[in-house]
Amino acid sequence: MKKEFVCLVVVFLILASFVTAHGEEEFHDAEEIIQKEILCDDLSEEDLEILGDYYMEQIHPGEAHIKMDKMMGGEGSESLRQMHINMGIRFYCNNNVGTGMMGMMYGQQTEDSYGYGFLGAFQWVFLILVLGGIIFVLVYLIKNKNSNKQRKKKK
Mean pLDDT over each residue of the chain, to the nearest integer: 75
pTM, rounded to two decimals: 0.48
Confidence category of residue 7, pLDDT binned at 50, 70, 90: low
**Could you report the per-residue pLDDT of 9-59, keeping only the tens digit for each?**
666 556 555 444 445 566 888 888 888 889 989 999 999 999 989 988 888
Report how far residue 102's alpha carbon sits from residue 73's, in angstroms, rounded to the nearest whole number: 16
pLDDT at 75 over 80: yes
Amino acid 135: pLDDT? 95
Torsion of CA 72, 75, 78, 79, to 10 degrees: 0
The string of DSSP letters for 25-67 reads HHHHHHHHHHHHT--GGG--HHHHHHHHHHHHHHHS-THHHHH
